[in-house]
Amino acid sequence: MNCESSRHLLPLYFDGELDPAASRAFESHLDGCAACRQALHELETLRARLRDPAARFAAPAALRARLAATAPARPRMRNRPWLALAASWLAAAAVGAGSAGLWQDRQHAVQAQAQLTRDLFAGHWRALAAASPVDVVSTDRHTVKPWFAGKVAESPPVHDFAAQGFPLAGGRIDYAGSARVPVLVYRHGGHLIDVFVLASADPGLPRQAQMRGYGLRTLALGHATAAVVSDMDEAELDRFAQLLAQGETAAPAR
Amino acid sequence: MDATDPRGLVGELALRQLDAAYNLARWLLGNDADAGDAVHDAFVRALQSAHTYAGGNARAWWLTIVRHCCFARLKERSDGRRFVAIDQLAADLGEAAVQRILPKSAADGPEQGAASAQERARLHRQLHELPPEYREVLVLREIEELSYREIAEMLSIPIGTVMSRLSRGRERLLHALRADAARSGERP
Ligand SMILES: [Zn+2]
């Protein structure tokens, strides 16, 4: 790849719009090309300045109050709409996945899978709608891990990925079916990331799923399974899932 | 209210993404009064059309409505109703005025924050001076973090056009900031 042909790929690489193979090819050019590295650095600097929260216009409190006052009245249980909607979306997804003529047990498996997927999306939406998405607020994994002890059968491994742009925000307990599961909460820019840690090595979840702009990734975490739910874009979701999988193989620094 | 009423969901979404909506409107319209009104219009409209939401990225769906309401306002403006764009006013009055109207910390800076407030003011002015089609994709991509596909759908333009506008917009903004910094003899 020469410099001219790779230069037009630079913004695509920078914006995460290249597929993994093309990204790797571009990176190998980047290793040997100071001019492209400089250009990439300029784009990064510009983005950092534009993304500076202090440079962003925030909605005035008066506007927020005015809109909140005209918003439809919440039903008695404030989280119901999320759950109900999640249920209806998932029902639609399950219908799509389980076309007629399947074996009965396959149907059951599909339904169980859809049910669990629904629980995870619903858990995430419920957390977003709640006053705080975390029960324990901490960026320190040494605080988060012991917090789970006694609340769930097994405390999940906790890693911080702040250096990679995904700082730990805390943790909470949520439900998947009738099981209480630990949830690790991370942030990425304005996005919230939930990591549900399921005790089973094969909970029967799809490797990935998408719903209304929210994505799910499932990965093995030792003998457990991690289900990641967030509205980050697909590339970022994949990157985070990969970090999480690697974080498990690398021994946690004590 | 019916628990499955999609308006409840849309209301929650819009309030959760209110800063994104306001930031976009503010950049498209150039002043607080119009931006607030456009977001208010968008909120009403989003609730009315909640049942038409057919899936996909909810944030992009909401921002598309905000954008429509901004353009409706711009049209109203050009149809004769006169608004004074605060940014325009500030450009006429100079840097000091720009800093007074900038969001948050820009104006409150004790001397430590002064340099960065000035830097921010410069960035704001240069971004504001970009042609609107470049400014818009920069705000959507760099600040609101939408993907090429989401921007293309929002603006009803091909992805290739998103890419070229984004590239040109970045180029022009970088160039303007460099020239600006060179003029004032500071680092960019
Ligand atoms: Zn090169």
- In angstroms, what is the span from residue A9 Cα to ligand 1's centroid? 10
Chain A residue numbers with beta carbons less than 8 Å from the beta carbon of B175 are none
B138/A129 CB distance under 8 A: no
What's the number of domains chain B is made of? 2
Beta bridge partners of A172: A183
Shortest alpha-carbon distance between residue A173 and chain B (Å) = 23
Same domain, B62 and B99: no
Same domain, B121 and B179: yes
Cα B136 to Cα B30: distance, rounded to the nearest angstrom = 12
A64 vs B: CB within 8 A = yes
User: What pLDDT, on a 0 to 100 scale, did the predictor assign at position B70?
Assistant: 94
B104: domain range?
Answer: 88-183
- In angstroms, what is the span from residue A7 Cα to ligand 1's centroid? 6
Residue B93 above 60 pLDDT? no
Beta bridge partners of A185: A170, A194
A222: domain range?
Answer: 132-249
pLDDT digits 0-9 by tens, A132-191? 777 777 777 877 888 887 777 778 888 889 888 899 888 888 877 667 888 999 998 888
Q: What is the CATH number of the domain that holds B107?
A: 1.10.10.10
Choosing from B26, B43, B76, the residue where a domain stops is B76
Full-model pTM: 0.56
A96 vs B: CB within 8 A = no
The set of residues, in sequence order, having a beta carbon less than 8 Å from that of B78 and lying 6+ positions away, is: none
| Interface test mutation site (partner B, options A17, A42, A67, A128, max chain B beta carbons within 10 A) | A67
A82 vs B: CB within 8 A = yes
Average pLDDT, chain A: 78
pLDDT range class, residue A130, cuts 50, 70, 90: low
The encoded tokens of residue B147 equal 């993907």
Complex ipTM value: 0.78
Strands A136-137, A214-221: pairing kind: unpaired
User: What pLDDT, on a 0 to 100 scale, did the predictor assign at position A96?
Assistant: 42
Q: Which of B1, B148, B174 sits opposite A17 (nearest CB)?
A: B148
Give a yes or no: residue B158 inside a domain.
Answer: yes
Give a yes or no: residue B115 inside a domain.
Answer: yes
Nearest residue of chain B to residue A42 (CA atoms): B174
Cα A94 to Cα A96: distance, rounded to the nearest angstrom = 5
Specify whether the CB–CB gap between B180 and B118 falls below 8 A.
no
> Nearest Cα to A198, choosing from A216, A215, A214, A219?
A219
Give a yes or no: residue B1 inside a domain.
Answer: no
Nearest residue of chain A to residue B60 (CA atoms): A213
The set of residues, in sequence order, having a beta carbon less than 8 Å from that of B107 and lying 6+ positions away, is: B99, B100, B101, B117
Cα B36 to Cα A64: distance, rounded to the nearest angstrom = 10
Q: What is the CATH number of the domain that holds A198?
A: 3.30.200.100
pLDDT digits 0-9 by tens, A68-87? 888 776 444 444 455 555 55
Nearest residue of chain A to residue B144 (CA atoms): A51
What's the number of domains chain A is made of? 2
